[in-house]
Structure 1
Amino acid sequence: MNHRITEGYMPFLGYQTYYRIVGEPSDKAPLLLLHGGPGSTHNYFEVLDELADTGRQIISYDQIGCGNSYLDGHPELWTLQTWIDELMAIREHLHLREVHLLGQSWGAMQAIAYAIDQKPVGVKSLILSSGHASSSLWASEQHRLITYLSEEDQAAIRRAEATGNWDDPDYLRANDHYFDRFVTSTDALSPECLTRPKRAGREAYLYGWGPNEYQPLGSLKDFEYTSKLNQITQPTLICSGTQDICTPVVAASLYEHILNSRWHLFRRSRHMCFVDAHREYCQVLTAWLQEHD
């Protein structure tokens, strides 16, 4: 079904935040999507547009620093506080009194911090998709995943970590192999939104997270919320894949500590379960949203 798509911009910190709304307002709480990165853009979430078929608005936005909200030359901005403030601003700007909140990867970290630190009202449920509550656990699990790569790739990554030379061709090739195996890849059959050129927020990623997934050196390096997860009161759906950089160890650490939570593990899925197990993901998510409206 073709739904009306509304695009717009919200003033934020003297800059502009782009948003995209699929569908018409209804009595169902909208689904608000928080993309990964930091700096990844909303693009890949367009594979979830079909969820609007259930009569629910699907809302995404490009967080400041990437995509249609691109900005660089401001390393001081790339902090948790900036992105949480932006999330609160977008809810207010779009009058989202009640929402379901889905965060993927870094977006799930954001949703966790928002739920715990801000105690927001009107969040009917959380969906934490391939995210984490502990940067140290994440880093150690990534280093375990690296051991599944070839000896050559492992050596190239060790060298880059020792020297800080993230431009070394051997390291870049190894990192590509890691991405293809555990994160995502595209081919001629991939949806257009996954292959469309995008303005990734490289500065936002570098200063917010680090040079790659396994080296948290940026402002989020001390993100440690595991011991506070019991403060989350919203019903929470945890999604992850069996071949995901959000390993079952990471997902289990969320499930173990969030009291009212359910965990769905998608077979043969990497970091973007909603792409690798698209049909199943949409079915699981639709049922979850209906249950918690």
Structure 2
Amino acid sequence: MKITEGYMPFKGYQTYYRIVGECREGKKPLILMHGGPGSTHNYFEVLDQLAEDGRALIMYDQLGCGNSYVDNRPDLWNQETWTEELIALREHLGLKEVHLLGQSWGGMLALSYVCDKKPEGVKSLILSSTLPSSKLWAEEQHRMIRFMPQEMQEAIAHAEETGNYDDEAYLKANEEFMMRHCAGTPDPEGPECLTREKKSGSESYVTAWGPNEFTPLGNLRDFEYRDQLGDIKEPALVISGINDLCTPVVAKTMYDGIPNAKWELFRYSRHACFVEETEKYIQIVRDWMNEND
């Protein structure tokens, strides 16, 4: 399968992209937007197989992480920068008609892009383990924290009260929370892309989101699109896992709010359904794009 790598000039830096496969007539390319902010495209490589039936996949490292790593630029780590980057990437690669897949923060980016910019040529949205509202997300994470051991609940509450996120008890509690609802340590025998060393954008994550998944203190803390979901014209596939940070309440909010939406709930997954149930994910996304080309 053909793989093309390159860099796009952006804001005086470079945005790395990776294109898998080529599009046959009638099949529109898929742009994949990773989470974080600052998570890198790496985990999306488990989806390379999606290109086998004649569809190009475009993955990229958003500015601030991975092969697009930049640090000491907190002024850049915001919704506007990454939206401009997505617009620039479409233009740079001549992507007039596309499907968009955003996971976690990448789905927030997709939602804000279609709601605020109303772009042409978006055939469909795939909203994977994402959110329409930082407030709702934080409420749901705190609801799930109440199922943790009492001492861990107290450690998290203490960290939030004091602003000290370096305490050992808090770190242990946060690790447990993420293991339950996000991901564990990658299997050394698993796909190489999941264990590969990478430059995570920790500065971009903390600046834009906050110290952890349940305390949005960064500039995305007021991210709120629930009232705009009804204006989305594109068909949308909502994907979430049963033990996901994107709880069924968050997923159903998007499913109920977007007029032409479908929801797939993955029974054995946490926050990265495409990693934990890869074959099912590929089949569902492939069928979805074939229906909406």
TM-score category of the 2 structures, normalised to the smaller one: over 0.9
1:233 Cα deviation after fit: 0.3
CA distance in 2, matches of 1:41, 1:126: 20
1:69-218 superposed matches below 5 A? 69-185=68-184, 186-218=186-218
Residue aligning to 2:235 = 235
**Secondary structure of the structure 1 residue equivalent to 2:263:** strand
Deviation of the 1:191 alpha carbon: 1.2
Instruction: Give 5+ residue unaligned stretches, structure 1.
Output: none
Cα distance, 1:172 vs. partner? 1.1
Equivalent residue number for residue 262 of structure 1: 262
What amino acid is aligned across from residue 11 of structure 2 in structure 1? L
- After TM superposition, where is structure 1 displaced by more than 4 Å over at least 4 residues in a row? none
Structure 1 counterpart of 2:5, from 4, 7, 10: 7
How far off its partner does 1:284 sit? 0.6
Unpaired stretches in structure 2, ≥5 consecutive residues? none
Give the match's secondary structure for 1:237: strand
Alpha-carbon distance change, 25 to 286 in structure 1, aligned in 2, over 3 angstroms: closer
Aligned partners of 2:125 and 2:187: how far apart in 1?
Answer: 31
Q: Distance in 1 between matches of 2:150 and 2:43?
A: 32
Q: Could you say what secondary structure the match of 2:217 adopts?
A: coil
- Secondary structure of the residue aligned to 2:290 is helix
What is the CA–CA distance in structure 2 between the aligned matches of 1:128 and 1:24, rounded to whole Å?
A: 23
Q: 1:91-133: CA deviations, max 9, x gaps?
A: 0001001100000000000000000111111110000001011
Give TM-score scaled by structure 2 length. Answer: 0.98
Alpha-carbon distance between aligned partners in 2 of 1:168 and 1:55, rounded to the nearest angstrom: 50
Provide Cα deviations, 1:200-224, integer angstroms capped at 9, x if missing partner.
0011000110010001111100000
Q: Secondary structure at the match of 2:70?
A: coil
SS in 1 for 2:99: strand
Deviation at 1:189?
3.1
Give the aligned partner of residue 244 of structure 1.
Answer: 244
Distance 1:187 1:143 in 2: 29
- Distance of 1:143 and 1:208 partners within structure 2: 20
Deviates more, 1:89-98 or 1:149-158: 149-158
Q: How far apart are the structure 2 equivalents of 1:153 and 1:89?
A: 44
Say which SS state the counterpart of residue 59 (structure 1) adopts: strand
- Coordinate RMSD, CA, aligned: 0.8
Amino acid of the structure 2 residue aligned with 1:83 = W
**How many Å separate the matches in 2 of 1:137 and 1:81?**
22
Cα deviation, residue 154, structure 1: 1.3
Distance 2:265 2:53 in 1: 24
Q: Distance in 2 between matches of 1:56 and 1:32?
A: 11
Q: Which residue of 2 aligns with 1:273?
A: 273
How far 1:152 sits from its partner (Å)? 2.0
State which drifts further: 14-23 or 154-163. 154-163
Structure 1: how far apart are the matches of 2:195 and 2:151?
A: 29
Q: How far did residue 54 of structure 1 move? A: 1.2
Partner-residue secondary structure (3-state), 2:172? helix
- The 1-side partners of 2:241 and 2:281 are apart by 11
